[in-house]
Structure 1
Amino acid sequence: MVTVFIRWTWMRAVLHNGWWLVTSVYLVVDAGLSPAELVLIGSVQSAFALVFEVPAGVIADTISRKWSLVISQVLMGTAMLATGLFESFPALLATQVLWGISWTFASGSDVALITDELDRPEEINLVLARAARAQLTGAATGLVLLGLLAWATRRDLTIVIAGAAMAALALYVAFRFTEHNFVPTRTARWSASWSTFRRGVTLVRRSRAILLIFAATFLVNGASDAAGRLTQKQLLDLGLPSAPDPIVWFTALGVTGLIVGAVVLRLVTHRINGAHAATDYALAALVGVLAMLLLAFAADPIIGAIAVVLLNGIVTPLTRVISTIWVNARTTADIRATTHSFLAQLEYLGEIVCGVTISAIAQLTTLPLALTACAVLFAATAVLMRRSPGDPAVGDLH
């Protein structure tokens, strides 16, 4: 099951990240969206995902993690495909909202499924770290393959092809995934769902460590999401060459960041599973401060590109894998997907609150000042994690 799960993680990363590379350029170059519209899409998308996240997690914990993933794949593929059919802001907003909703059926369900199917607690953190590396190498592959396809054909066509392939990946989940160690609720599902939700809330309220990582996730994800949506615009404004096609430059930049990320995760796999998790999270946030300031005040696209590599190669992969392992170690099988859904909710909430704020800054002032605001959020995260007494990740495991 581990091999099947890793392969699925890799294939999904190929399609998702390659699609987003092409889509991010499509939204700026073909659809002509403004910086404020780009960030607003993320905020509205997150608002809908926020509403759907916990119900989707509860469904996974009471009915099926496997079939939650199948639903996710179908919705995700539909949203991705539809993106390439429109250029108007309202239509693109709708496709991205559906895309956000699709992720709610996967976030938490995937980690919960592999954790319970593996049923070896001493090995699951290494499996999750391995899955994170597979996601990065798959993403790099997707950037190259779909980036080249977009360059050789058309961006909108590439987007449609990636969406169709993502929907088809639901068949892989349906026929290759197993769910032997999960017992669905057969009767009184609404009552059981409410009970699952309440147990998840109780766990979170009693765990100082989970509350800490939730707060950090809120800040980091808000900063990372806003910055990720502004990166292409800032690099183009800095004078990124228009020949060859910008998609080629963004492909090379994305692949570089993902390779750096895979190497970094390989080097710190055992460290982030121990007593240094909070420190490593704080250090990653400080790298985020540096990356945002470099990108905001870069004199040329080369400096801006270095900043993007730091963000995508160090900050994003480290904070995500640490938060996933941190939460996964502190929950139980019966509410595992629900607890991870709570974590995802904090991600979406950060995207909404921080995204709207940064969108307003970009609209009312300048793009560099909006990126500086992202740096402030990363700085606040570093302070929060460093002020934690010792490392809650160690003392709150049981």
Structure 2
Amino acid sequence: MVATFVRWTWMRAVLHNGWWLVTSVYLVVDAGLSPAELVLIGSVQSAFALVFEIPAGVVADTISRKWSLVISQLLMGTAMLATGLVTSFPAILATQVLWGISWTFASGSDVALITDELDDPASINLVLARAARAQLTGAATGLVVLGLLAWSTRRDVTIVIAGIAMAALAGYLALRFTEDNFVPTRSRRWAASWSTFVRGVTLVRRSRAILLIFAATFLVNGASDAAGRLTQKQLFDLGLPTAPDPIVWFTALGVIGLVLGAVVLRLATRRINGDHARTDYALAAVVGVLGMLLLGFARNAVVGAIAVVLLNGIVTPLTRVISTIWVNARTSADVRATTHSFLAQLEYLGEITCGLAISTLAAVGTVPLAFSACALLFAVTAVLMRRRRLTTCL
């Protein structure tokens, strides 16, 4: 089951990250969206995902984690495919909203499924770290393969092909995944769903460690998502070469960042599984401050590219893996997917709240000012994670 899970994680990362590489350029070059529109898409997408996240998590805890993932793949593939067929802002917004909804059926369900099927608390953190590394190497593969495909054909064609392949991956899930250790609720499902939700809330409220990680996730994800949607525009403004095709440059940047991320996770796996997770999270936040300021005030595309590699290769993989492992270790099997859905909700809340604020700064101010706001959020996170009074619970 572990090998199957890691293989699926790799394949999903190939398609999703390769698709987003091509789509991020497509939105700027082909659709011509403004910086404010790019960030607004993230905020609206997150608002819809926020609404669907808890029901999706409760469904996974009461009906099936496996079939929640199958639904996610089908919806995700549809959204990805549709993106390549439209260029107007309202239509693109609709496709990204559908993508956000699709992800709610997967967030938490995948971790809950492998945790319960493995049924080995001593090794699950190592398995999750292994899956995270597979996600990074898969993402690097996707950037190269789909980037080359977009360069040799067309961006919209590549986007459609990636969407079809993602939907087809649902078949792999349905055939290869097992769900032997999960007992679905057979009767009074609405009552059971509400009970699951209440138990999840109670668990979170009583755990200061989970609440701290939730707060850090809110700040970090809000800053990262907003900055990620401005990165392509910023690099173009800094003079990123247009020959060869920009896809080539973004592919190279993405691969370098992902390879660095895989190395960082490899080195940090034992620390994450031990007593150093809080310190590593704080250090990642400090690197986030430096990366955001470097990207916002870069004088040329080379400096901007270095900042992007730091953010994608150190900050993003470390903060995400640490958050997932710490929450997973502090929840129980009956509410595991629901609790991870709570974590995802904090991510979406960060994207909505911080994204709207940073979108406003980008629209009425300057892009460097928007990146400075992102750096401030990372700075607050670093301070929060290092305060002894709040972090002794970790």
Partner of 1:368: 368
2: distance between equivalents of 1:97 and 1:289? 29
Partner of 1:6: 6
Partner of 2:282: 282
Query: Gapped runs of 5+ residues in structure 1?
Result: none
Partner of 1:262: 262
2:384–2:390 Cα contact (<8 Å) kept: no
Cα shift at 1:273: 1.4
1:58–1:193 Cα contact (<8 Å) kept: yes
1:69–1:105 Cα contact (<8 Å) kept: yes
Q: Which runs of 4+ in 1 moved over 4 A?
A: 390-394
Letter in 2 for 1:175: L
1:257–1:310 Cα contact (<8 Å) kept: yes
Cα shift at 1:276: 1.2
Letter in 2 for 1:17: N
Partner of 2:155: 155
Query: Gapped runs of 5+ residues in structure 2?
Result: none
Partner of 1:83: 83
Partner of 1:97: 97
Provide the alpha-carbon RMSD of the alignment: 0.7
2: distance between equivalents of 1:5 and 1:100? 22
Partner of 2:33: 33
2: distance between equivalents of 1:203 and 1:167? 35
Partner of 1:328: 328
Structure 2 SS opposite 1:270: helix
Cα shift at 1:393: 6.0
Partner of 1:121: 121
1: distance between equivalents of 2:390 and 2:344? 25
1:22–1:159 Cα contact (<8 Å) kept: yes
Cα deviation code 1:230-259 (max 9, x no counterpart): 000000000000000100000000000000
Cα deviation code 1:52-85 (max 9, x no counterpart): 0010000000000000000000000000000000
1:272–1:322 Cα contact (<8 Å) kept: yes
Partner of 2:54: 54
Cα deviation code 1:116-145 (max 9, x no counterpart): 000000000000000000000000000000
Equivalenced residue count is 394
1:276–1:391 Cα contact (<8 Å) kept: no
Partner of 2:141: 141
Letter in 1 for 2:162: A
Letter in 1 for 2:153: T
1:208–1:392 Cα contact (<8 Å) kept: no
Cα shift at 1:289: 0.3
Partner of 2:24: 24
Counterparts in 2 of 1:390 and 1:373: CA distance versus 1, 3 Å: closer
Cα deviation code 1:100-128 (max 9, x no counterpart): 00000000000000000000000000000
The TM-score with structure 1 as length reference comes to 0.98
Cα shift at 1:290: 0.2
Letter in 1 for 2:230: L
Letter in 2 for 1:186: R
Letter in 2 for 1:105: F
The TM-score with structure 2 as length reference comes to 0.99
Cα deviation code 1:182-215 (max 9, x no counterpart): 0000000000000000000000000000000000
1: distance between equivalents of 2:91 and 2:98? 11
1:41–1:93 Cα contact (<8 Å) kept: yes
2: distance between equivalents of 1:202 and 1:390? 19
Counterparts in 2 of 1:390 and 1:356: CA distance versus 1, 3 Å: closer
Cα shift at 1:390: 7.7
Partner of 1:236: 236
Counterparts in 2 of 1:390 and 1:91: CA distance versus 1, 3 Å: closer
Cα shift at 1:389: 3.5
1: distance between equivalents of 2:77 and 2:314? 28
Structure 1 SS opposite 2:389: coil
2: distance between equivalents of 1:59 and 1:30? 38
Partner of 1:195: 195
- Identity, % of aligned pairs? 84
Partner of 1:112: 112
Partner of 2:74: 74
Partner of 1:385: 385
